[in-house]
């Protein structure tokens, strides 16, 4: 349900940030710290979060649909 999608979204974000931190070590590019910093305009930040959250939800729903269709055709 919605709680699971919310958890997956936050886990994916956490993994992405940790990966960026690991890859940016020694490069002099502080973009990982910029991602962790709070946004100045919360309205834009919330809008971006909603867009990313909805996109993830659409992808998961499409994947579920495809899996169900393969299951129907396999029977």
Domain of residue 65, residue span: 2-74
What is this structure's pTM?
A: 0.46
d(CA 63, CA 18) in angstroms, rounded, equals 26
d(CA 36, CA 17) in angstroms, rounded, equals 8
CB-CB contact of 47 with 36 (8 Å): no
Q: Which residue has the higher pLDDT, 48 or 32?
A: 48
Give the model's confidence band at 28: pLDDT under 50 very low, under 70 low, under 90 confident, else very high.
low
d(CA 46, CA 54) in angstroms, rounded, equals 12
CB-CB contact of 30 with 24 (8 Å): yes
pLDDT at res. 69 = 92
Residue 21 has pLDDT above 80, yes or no: no
How many domains does one find in the chain?
1
């Amino acid at each position: 349900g919605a709680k699971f999608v919310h958890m997956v979204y936050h886990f994916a974000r956490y993994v992405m940030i940790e990966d960026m931190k690991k890859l940016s070590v020694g490069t002099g590019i502080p973009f990982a710290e910029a991602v962790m910093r709070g946004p100045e305009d919360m309205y834009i930040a919330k809008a971006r979060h909603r867009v990313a959250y909805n996109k993830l939800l659409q992808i998961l729903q499409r994947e579920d649909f495809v899996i169900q269709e393969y299951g129907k055709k396999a029977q």
